[in-house]
């Protein structure tokens, strides 16, 4: 549940990052589509954020879920702004990080 929430939060941040005009980078694929449709990208980002917050609120409780969702969202936004402009983050890196998050969640769910 937590890994799904983190991944959905990342999608929310990526939707907002794709419409940003402050950073110059080559836009291709889904990022190009989102950058041309700013209203759709903002709506998608809001929907992803709300789904992530609801998932965390279900698993942690209402107040803890909202607080955790905000902390995760701010942390992921900082990482996105820090690493993406340098083109150091590749698709393989995102897959490995997602797999690591899922493995850690499964490990802790089997321990407890």
The residue extents of the domains of the chain are 2-111
What average pLDDT does range 65-69 have in this prediction? 93
Predicted confidence band at 33 (pLDDT cuts at 50, 70, 90)?
confident
Q: Averaged over 43-55, what is the pLDDT?
A: 93
C-alpha 91/C-alpha 70 separation (Å) is: 25
Gap between the Cα atoms of 47 and 69, Å rounded: 13
Biggest CA-to-CA distance, the chain: 46
Residue 40: which residues within 8 A CB-CB, separation 6 or more?
34
pLDDT of residue 75: 93
**Mean per-residue pLDDT of the chain:** 84
Tell me the per-residue pLDDT of 50-62, one tens digit each, with 9 for 90 and over: 999 999 999 999 9
Side-chain half-sphere of 56: how many Cα atoms within 13 Å? 24
């Amino acid at each position: 549940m937590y890994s799904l929430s983190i991944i959905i939060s990342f999608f929310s941040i990526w939707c907002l990052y794709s419409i940003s005009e402050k950073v110059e980078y080559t836009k291709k694929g889904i990022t190009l589509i989102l950058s041309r449709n700013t209203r759709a990208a903002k709506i998608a980002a809001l929907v992803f954020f709300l789904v992530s917050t609801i998932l965390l609120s279900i698993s942690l409780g209402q107040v803890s879920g909202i607080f955790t969702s905000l902390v995760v969202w701010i942390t992921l936004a900082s990482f996105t702004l820090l690493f993406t402009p340098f083109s150091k983050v590749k698709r393989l890196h995102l897959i490995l990080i997602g797999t690591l998050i899922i493995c850690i969640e499964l490990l802790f769910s089997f321990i407890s």
